[in-house]
Each structure stands twice: as C-alpha cells, then as structure tokens.
A and B are shown apart, each in its own frame.
Chain A
Amino acid sequence: MSSELNHLLSLASAGKMSRRDFVGRAGALGVSTAMAGTMLSTAAFAETPVKGGVLRAGVQGGQSTDSLDPALAASDVPFMINSTWGETLVDAGLKGQVEYRVAEEISSNADATEWKFKIRKGVEYHNGATLTAEDVVATLKRHTDEKSQSGALGIVKGIKDMKAEGDMVTLTLNAANADLPFLMADYHLIIQPGGGVDNPAAGIGSGPYKITENEAGVRTAFEKHANYWDANRGFADQVEVLSINDNTARTAAIQAGQIHMMNRVDPKIVEMLAGNADVLIERAAGPGHYVFIMECNKAPYDNNDLRMALKLAVNRQEMVDKILGGMGSRGNDFPINAAYPLFDDSIPQRDYDAAAAAEAYQKSGHDGSPLILQVAPGAFPGAVEAAQLFQASANAAGIPLQVKLEPDDGYWSNVWNVAPFCASYWGGRPVQDQMYSTAYLSTADWNDTKFVDPHFDEVLIAARGELDQTKRKAMYSELALIVRDNGGLICPMFNDWVEGRRKEVGGWIANPAGSLMDGKALSMCWLNA
C-alpha cells in the first residue's frame, strides 16, 4: 500500500476525512471503489473501540403515537429504538450475505422448502431469562397472526409449519424460498420473551441496551445490558434516541454537540455542513426509491404506449441533481438497484428522450386530454418539485401532463392506491424477491401499479426455489425487464441515506440496508475521547 494511501486511510478512520472523500482520493490513486470501502471498513475495525460515555442519536420520524411493539414499527424512530433493545435471528450483512445474530447456523434441505436455524446458546434477555428456540417460534407465530397487525405479515405468511426442538428451530415453507434467511433480518421480527404475546410493547429483548426510560415520540434512554453476548457491540455505557422531527433543529443539535449522529440530512445543506469540521456527512446507496405509479388497469394508463411515453418523458438526471442534491442515482423503472444481491447491471439505463416520448405518445392514440398526476408534499421529500420537473419535461415532449396538488392529510388512504396516477415511495427490501412479491406480483396486497402478468408471476415464484445463483440472476434480470418495459412504475431515482455524525464518533460503517447503519449505529459506534 502506498504511503499516501496509508495517510489517507488514517485520516479517514480518525474521522478527519469523509468516507466519500476517501473513496474519491483513493480512486485517484487507482484503488477501486469496492476496494476502498473494504479498506475503510477494515480500518474502522482496526480502530480500538472506546468504552463508556453517553451516545445520543437525533432521529427524524417519531411521534407520540409510537409503540414499542416491533410488529407495528413503521418509521425511523421506532426502528432505531427497537434495533437497539432487540435482536433478530440474523442481520443483513454488508456484502449481500446474512450475519448471524440470535441464530448461529442456518441450513436448508436441497429444494429450500425446509430451513433449520440453530439458536445461539446463552443469549440473555434484559429480564434475566434465557432466549430459547420456543421464543423464536412464538415470536414468528405472533407475526403470523393477522391480529398482531405486523408489518412482517407478508414475510411470515409463507411459513407453513414451525417447530422448536432443543436449540433448533425448523421452518417448513409453503413453497421453496432460497431467500428465507434474508427475510428473517426484517426489523419487525425481533425475538421477544414468549414471543411478546402477553405484552408486545414491553420493550424487553436481547439487544445490547435495555430501556430505562421511554417517552414515545420524545426520548428513549438505554443502559448497557450487562450480560450481552457479543463483545463487538455496545460500547457506550448509555445511549439515547431523541426524536427530533424538525430538520433545522436536528442539524443545529448535531452542530452544537447535543447529539452525536442524525438521520436524514437535508441534501440542500450538505455543502454548508462540509464547512463544519465537527460534523461528517455519511452516505450509503440504499434500495429506497421515489416513484410515480400508473395503475395499469385504468384508462388511459392501460395503454402500454402511453406508459412508455411517460417513462421516456422523465429527466432522471435532473431529478437526482435537483431533488436529491446529487445524493442518489437514476432509477430505471424497475424497483431494484445495485444495493440488492443478484442485480444485473447490464440492463440499459433509460433516459430522457423527448422525441421517442412524443413518438410513443402519438402511437398510443391518446386524445390529448390532460393526464393528471396527483401528488402531496409528503409522498416523498421534494415530491411536488419532482412532479413539476416531470410536468415540464413531459410538456416539452408534447405530453399534456398536469400536476394536481393533494394535501398530506389522508394522502395514503384517499389518493395512493386509489388514484390512477400518483407519487409514492418505497423503502426497499433486503432481497429482490421480497420487493417484487410485495408490490408487483398480481396477487400482492400492495400491487399499487395494478400490474398483472401471469408469466411474471410464474418466473418470480420459480426464482424463489432456484438455488443455482446464475440461473436465478438471469430470472431476476427477466423480471426487471418486464417491469421496466411493461409495468406501471416510473422510478426516476434511488435516494441515498444521507446522515451526519460528529467526528468523535468511532466505528461508523456505512450500511445500505437501513438508516443509521441499519439501526445499529448506537450499538456499534463508540465515543472517542
């Protein structure tokens, strides 16, 4: 390794240079981005963790209506809180693999219909009880029950039978699914004593920190769980999650040192923060994306030429630049990007093409009446501005697109999944199958584009049981092309996680799977003196 590279690496791991700068400068020295990332992670690990202190995260996305029941978590604050007190069977690893947590070994039968999870010995809950295989089964069962209103219902629905024997949990599936271990990383599936059946919102789990105080939508305070099993997590004595929804207040708080890390840095102020030596910006290219959805079963959007015309009329690069402030990447009208395992990067990128859009529009034979795009400010950050950019680029291609502004209040019940053409977002899923099964399978509950294609369904279900990764990749590639060229999804951009941390925070590793190191930032970071 060159001495300059060494120097850069020491700067970056001491927090004096941002990850992005490091990757950029290392690139100038001929190091690939992936390699630079690995070097940096190794360097971060090489730093000696410092124990003690109080680590605070300021997080947007909390409300006084929030519950500690992991089944109900739906926004960043409960996600962060639950990931700090609880643990799942596995985590989503950084290299497209699973990382063992409560489970220490996973195996399946040859056709991926039966999965065995060996439960780690000596994992202790905050109440002193020991985590058992029975707890795991009871937890999964609770999420299977419609009454639990679990956000993971769609995941556990495919499990036909589950049983616990000794330290082994056996799950039998309705149909083959090679991705099952990844699905168990879902943040709702935190293992609770007795499955959390008696008191789902007790907040007692086996995570590195136990809750000492909890005021919903305000502040949750934790102290170190003394008997936590993993010495590589839980360095600070105490941690806190502060729910700070106002962007300016959150930013001011990190500048003033009242918090050590924050989620959702407004892309507009990233450059301004660059001048602050105490605060570093961290980016991770995740699976989250912003979308405009057309319902394929409603006129005029039941016409694929019209859908194609609209897809070609989006200026994606402009949206990435103006809506995301460059903190993201162009979408390609299917819901998958490089954050997913088995992504096919050879699929051609669709770009703005006014002439082709006009041609497709002519071909569709549309009568020229206005195409109404319904959008609310809360559909995604910058949704209204993005819709206006879309309107401008579409009008330039002769497509009569019009934006109709809707109120945030009631948007998800009155407009989304009701109106034929509207704005929305997806947070992404750990694996491709789950993303497609959630929103593009004909029978999916959230098939918000009302896309029905029997061949697509067939390939998607066959891919679940395909254990040959090359064949599987080809199948996902086919699915991507079907959605891209025939579906009702317009996906102009994938948004990066843009987050901030103070320079004294050590151990930060960008994780694209979720916000704030997939919810593990408080558990895995430490405070350098």
Chain B
Amino acid sequence: MHPLIKLVVQRIALGLLLLLAVSVVIFLGVEMLPGDTAQAILGQSATPEALANLRESLGLNQSAATRYFTWLGHAVQGDLGKALTNQQDISHAIGQRLGNTLFLALCAGVIAVPLAIALGLIAARYNGRWPDKLISGVTLATISLPEFVAAYFVIFLLTQVIPILQPVSMVFPGMGFFAKLHAVALPVIVLVMVVLAHMMRMTRAAILNVMQSAYIETAELKGLSPMQVIWRHALPNAVAPIISVVVINLAYLVVGVVVVEVVFSYNALGQYLVDHVAKRDLPVVQAVGIIFAAVYIGLNILADLIGIIANPRLRHPK
C-alpha cells in the first residue's frame, strides 16, 4: 500500500476512536451538571409529581450506562433520536442548522482566507515598513475586540448610521441566495475581523522565516522581483504552517461562533447546542457535540495531509 493511503486510513481510524471517546466525555459531562432534563424543562414551575411524570416519560429512570449504550446503538445506525424537550426529530433539525452553520462559515472563509494570506504576503514583502505596521496594527485591533463588541459596533455603523444592512440575520427555507447573503453580511464582517489576524500573522511569520534561507538570497541575486521571490520560492515552503492555522480558523468558524450567532439571532448549530445544554437535552447535545468534534478532527486530518503532501521529505519517508 502506498504510505500516504496507509497514513490516511490510520488517521481516519484514530479519528473515529477519538469521536467515540468524545461521545463518552460529553455524556459524562452532561450527567455531571446539576439538575436533569426534567428539572431544566419545568424550571421554576416544577412540582414533585410533575418531575416524576416527566422523568418517566423521558426515560430518565434508566441507568446512565443503559441510556448511553441505547443512544450509541441508534447513533451508529444514523438514528440520532428525538429531542427530549420538544420531541423534534434531531437529524432533521440538525440538517437545517448545519446547513446554516456551513453557509456562514463558508461565506466568512471565502473572504477571510485569501484576504489574510494576501495581507500576510504584503506585510512580509514590506517587512518593518509602513504597510506591514498598518496591516499588523489594524488586524491586531480587530482580533483584540471581543466578538460581541465588534458585532455591536458593526450593527451600530451599518444599520443605524448608514442603514444598508439588517441587524437580525436569521435565514429560513424559501429565501433566495442573494437574500441570504444580504442577511448574513453583518456576521460575516464580524467573523472576518475576528479570524483575519491569526492567519495573516502566521502567513507573515512563516514567509519571513523562509526568507532567511540561502536559496532566497540566490533567487534575489538572480534578479527576481521581491514579490516573485515570495510567491515562487518562499510561499511553497511556508505552506504547511499556514495551512494548519487556516484550518484551525475554519474549524473555529464552524464550531466556535455561538456568540456571533446569538447577537445576530442567526439560527445555526451553536445556538441550537446552547439551548439544549441549558435544558440538559442529552441526545441533542451528543449529536451536535459529535458533529463539532468530527469537523475538528476531519479538518485537522486534512491539514496534516496537506502539510505532508506539500513537503517532499514527509511525502517520501525513508
């Protein structure tokens, strides 16, 4: 077997094992939270009888181990079950929400990744001069703002001062593609602001690191322009660290944007997860947790592979 294929199979198998471990950890985590689903649903209005009735109808009387293995048995067959709180089919609800999550992440990623890399290249090209300082300064400022502050800032600027966008971003089936783009414009702006700096700085650092090498000097001496040197000789050798940071940020755009979702009332997975954690709705928390873990693990495997493919020494191990 080609070593690369063997590596891919190995990584995926390990990833699946990791997912299983994650599901156990999530289950135990929710179990350890004070109060159970029945109490969380009934809240202030809980009476002992109502609690007992609800626990029975939700199957909370069974042992934790029984509940976990029942869930696992169904989950491997693709049946994520129904939400304990409102009996909605989880797969259906998640399908829609996941679509929204990916749409937002994709929109932000499509803008942020090329922009960050381009800015990183420019900053490296003009290292220590004003374009570098300007880019670093601005991106550091945007990453330093907490997300909700940035969100309120753009809401104020683009819905009140210059009213061209809408502060509430919820999307729903039946909306046209451009209507959706218009709806998510504000959260996309905020997310781009948040993820830009990290990727930009890694690009800049990786390029500058490579620029110290002897072969760069050779390239310069043979008369290539600085941008050509960076593009043809420095970037290909700096790609592995850049990719891994890009992937971490993409994963963040999928799994870590709940604050932005809440501020803009964007109906994606993060908000869905938080609502169900608050209600101790274990099947939903499990399902969403597994999806988030799968995204993280999958993207990291991808980053490793791209890093290996980009590096001949790793591609042909001795």
Contacts and interface: CB of A to CB of B under 8 A. Distances in A.
A218 interface: yes
B45 A413 contact: no
B159 A65 contact: no
A244 B265 contact: yes
Nearest to A448: B44
A63 B276 CA distance: 9
A424 interface: yes
Contacts of A248: 152, 155, 263
B59 interface: no
A253 B156 CA distance: 11
Interface in B34-78: 34-35, 39-47, 49-50, 53-54, 57
Contact of A246 (B88, B159, B265): B265
B159 A255 contact: yes
Interface stretch (A123-131, A146-154, A429-437): A146-154
B80 to A, nearest CB: 15
A218 B155 CA distance: 19
Contacts of B156: 252
Interface string B238-263: 00000000000000000000000011
B167 A410 contact: no
Interface in B125-172: 152, 155-156, 159-160, 163, 166-168, 170, 172
Interface residues of B, number: 49
Interface in A412-440: 412-414, 416, 424
Interface string A198-221: 000100000000000101111101
A249 B172 contact: no
Given A243-B265, A255-B159, A412 B275 contact: no
Nearest to B265: A244
B136 to A, nearest CB: 30
A445 interface: yes
Given A242-B168, A246-B263, A255-B159, A63 B278 contact: yes
A245 B258 CA distance: 13
A218 B262 contact: no
A350 to B, nearest CB: 25
B272 interface: yes
A509 to B, nearest CB: 26
A74 B43 CA distance: 9
Contacts of B40: 413
B249 to A, nearest CB: 24
B34 A409 contact: yes
Interface of A: 58, 63-67, 72, 74, 146-147, 149, 151, 153, 201, 213, 215-219, 221, 242-246, 248-250, 252-253, 255-256, 258-259, 409-410, 412-414, 416, 424, 445-446
8 contacts: A213-B173, A218-B170, A218-B172, A218-B267, A256-B166, A410-B35, A413-B39, A446-B45
